[in-house]
Amino acid sequence: MLTVGSTSRSPVVLDARAAAVQRPGWWGELLLGIGLFGIYLLVEAFPLPGREPRAHANGEALLAFERWMHLDFELPVNRWLADQGWIRVFANYEYAITYIASAIILLIWVHARHPVHYRSVRNSFVWLNLFALACFWLYPVAPPRMLEGAGFVDTVRLGHTFLSWGSPALQGANQLAAMPSLHVGWALWVSVVLARIRGGWAVQIVSAVHVAITFAVIIATGNHYWIDAAAAVVFIAAATWIAQVARPVDRVPASDTFFLHVETPAYPQHVGGLIMLDTTANPAGPTREWVQQAIRDKLPEMPRYAQRLSDYSPWRRQHWVPHPDIDWDWHVPDFDLTRPDGTPGGMGELHKLVARFQSEPLPRDRPLWRFAVVRGVEENTAAVISLVHHAVADGIGTISLMLELFDSPSLLDGLNETRRPNALQKAAAGAVGLAQLATDGRPKTRLPAGDPPDRRYATLQIPLDDVRELARKHGVRVTDLLLGGVAGALRRVAVAPLPESMLTSVTLMAAEPRPGAEGNVTAAVMVDIPLGDMPEAERLKRIARATKRLRTGTRVVASRFVQHTLAGLMPAFFHRWFARTVYNERFFNGTVSNMPGAAWQVDFRDFPLRTAFAIIPLAPGTPFTIGVLGWYGSFSMSATVDATLVDSVDGFLAEFRAVLAELA
Indicate whether 301 pLDDT > 50: yes
Helices 26-45, 115-138: crossing angle, 10 deg rounding: 10
- Alpha-carbon span 451 to 289, nearest angstrom: 38
Most confident of 186-190, 253-257, 562-566: 186-190
pLDDT reported for residue 97: 82
- The identity of residue 68, as a single letter, is W
- pLDDT greater at residue 347 or residue 92: 347
Which of 239-248, 499-508, 509-518, 519-528 has the least mean pLDDT? 509-518
pLDDT reported for residue 511: 44
Which of 7-21, 174-188, 473-487, 488-502 has the least mean pLDDT? 7-21
- Alpha-carbon span 518 to 505, nearest angstrom: 22
pLDDT reported for residue 527: 86
- pLDDT greater at residue 293 or residue 461: 461
**Best CA proximity match to 276, nearest among 546, 614, 518, 582:** 614
Which of 127-136, 441-450, 489-498 has the least mean pLDDT? 441-450
Mean pLDDT of the chain: 81
CA 416 to chain centre: 14
Indicate whether 17 pLDDT > 90: no
Per-residue CA distances from 39 to 42, 142, 171, 181, 351 (Å) = 5, 20, 19, 18, 64
Indicate whether 627 pLDDT > 80: yes
DSSP state of 159: T
Q: Where are the alpha helices (DSSP H) in 198-253?
A: 201-220, 226-245
Q: In this structure, what are the phi and psi dihedrals at residue 575, rounded to the nearest 5 degrees? A: -65, -40
Give the burial class of 365: count Cβ atoms within 10 A of its Cβ; 0-12 exposed, 13-18 middle, 19 or more buried. Answer: exposed
- Alpha-carbon span 429 to 398, nearest angstrom: 28
Q: Which residues sit opposite 592 in a β-bridge?
A: 506, 626
Q: What is the mean pLDDT of residues 291-311?
A: 84
- pLDDT greater at residue 45 or residue 292: 292
Q: What is the mean pLDDT of residues 418-423?
A: 50
**Best CA proximity match to 141, nearest among 99, 112, 182:** 182
Q: Mapped to the 3 state alphabet, what secondary structure does 538-557 carry?
A: HHHHHHHHHCHHHHHCHHHH
- pLDDT greater at residue 94 or residue 274: 274
ω into 248 cis (within 30 of 0): no
pLDDT reported for residue 6: 30
Indicate whether 521 pLDDT > 60: no
Q: In this structure, what are the phi and psi dihedrals at residue 184, rounded to the nearest 5 degrees? A: -70, -40
**Best CA proximity match to 274, nearest among 636, 594, 642:** 636
Indicate whether 122 pLDDT > 50: yes
State the Cα angle at 639 between 599 and 339, rounded to 5°: 95
DSSP state of 602: -
Q: Are 489 and 479 in contact (CB under 8 A)?
A: no
563: Cβ–Cβ under 8 A, 6 or more apart, which residues? 254, 255, 258, 520, 523
- The identity of residue 639, as a single letter, is A
Q: Are 180 and 132 in contact (CB under 8 A)?
A: yes
Q: Are 163 and 80 in contact (CB under 8 A)?
A: no
ω into 452 cis (within 30 of 0): yes
- pLDDT greater at residue 359 or residue 88: 359
Indicate whether 234 pLDDT > 70: yes
pLDDT reported for residue 255: 79
Q: Are 37 and 29 in contact (CB under 8 A)?
A: no
pLDDT reported for residue 595: 82
The pLDDT > 70 percentage for the chain reads 79
pLDDT reported for residue 656: 96
Q: What is the mean pLDDT of residues 584-601?
A: 83
Indicate whether 654 pLDDT > 90: yes
pLDDT digits (tens, 9 = 90+) for 523-569: 677 889 999 899 999 999 999 988 886 666 665 666 667 666 677 76
Question: 208: how many CB neighbours lie within 10 A of its CB?
Answer: 15
- Alpha-carbon span 302 to 318, nearest angstrom: 19
pLDDT digits (tens, 9 = 90+) for 45-65: 778 888 889 988 998 998 899
